[in-house]
Amino acid sequence: MMLAGLAAALVWMGPALGYELSSRAQAALARGEAYADVSADPDGVSGLVRGVVDIDAPPEKVWAVMTDCATARKLMANLASCRVLSGDQVRGWDVREHVTHRNLVFPAMRIVFRSDYEPQKRIRFRLVEGDLKIQQGEWRLTPLNGGTRTRVFYDNRLAVDWPVPRAFMRDALRRDTPKVLGNLRRACEGA
């Protein structure tokens, strides 16, 4: 998963995919699959990544998996480390560092991002420093079936500072984002 660490280190931005699912997203969810859409941002500098997955676990369980640095490598195959640098969830925010492994195409990356927490509902994040040019977004958890299941929305605006074609990056994110969402589902349902 070339960009799984990159894709999963990021999160939601605003009203985006949150409530109105495209017919393609609805069809993927009906088949029990994660869905992701990647497009160029109108500013021409960054890309928009939006995804959704349904998980057979309550929001409390999904939240616990998503916010645990110890399980982050289960979600992102190329993640070498995750650590909280400052803050804590009890205070409503933290700053985390993700370091990814190098692969044949992409260098190892260090990504430091701040997350602001609305427990069991939303995580907003934004780049603090590191090897990305832009990173901002959010994860949103919506209870389903009276809270026995959870729909997870992912929205991220990101850009890298590498001489790589933007179309190549979008294709990699289009492949890797559903994998990360699927890994999240497996971690929550198997926990």
Domains of the chain: 4-190 (3.30.530.20)
Residue with the bigger pLDDT between 144 and 14: it is 144
DSSP SS3 for 150: strand
Closest CA to 53 of 190, 191, 188: 188
> What is the strand order of the sheet 122-130 is part of?
35-40, 47-55, 149-160, 132-144, 122-130, 110-118, 93-100, 79-88
Q: To 10 degrees, what angle do helices 59-66 and 166-190 make?
A: 120
DSSP SS3 for 141: strand
In degrees rounded to 5, what are phi and psi of residue 180? -65, -45
pTM to 2 decimal places: 0.86
Whether the pLDDT of residue 27 is over 70: the answer is yes
Task: Indicate the average pLDDT of the chain.
Answer: 86
**Listed range (11-15, 67-71, 144-148) with the worst mean pLDDT:** 11-15
Structure confidence at residue 105 (pLDDT): 66
Whether the pLDDT of residue 151 is over 60: the answer is yes
> Residue 4: which pLDDT band, with cuts at 50, 70 and 90?
very low
> Residue 2: which pLDDT band, with cuts at 50, 70 and 90?
very low
Mean pLDDT of 159-166: 76
Distance separating alpha carbons of residues 163 and 169, to the nearest angstrom: 11
Instruction: Please give the structure tokens belonging to residue 180.
Output: 């990360």
Query: For the CA atoms of 128, 131, 134, 137, what is the dihedral angle to 10 degrees?
Result: -60
Percent of the chain beyond pLDDT 90?
63
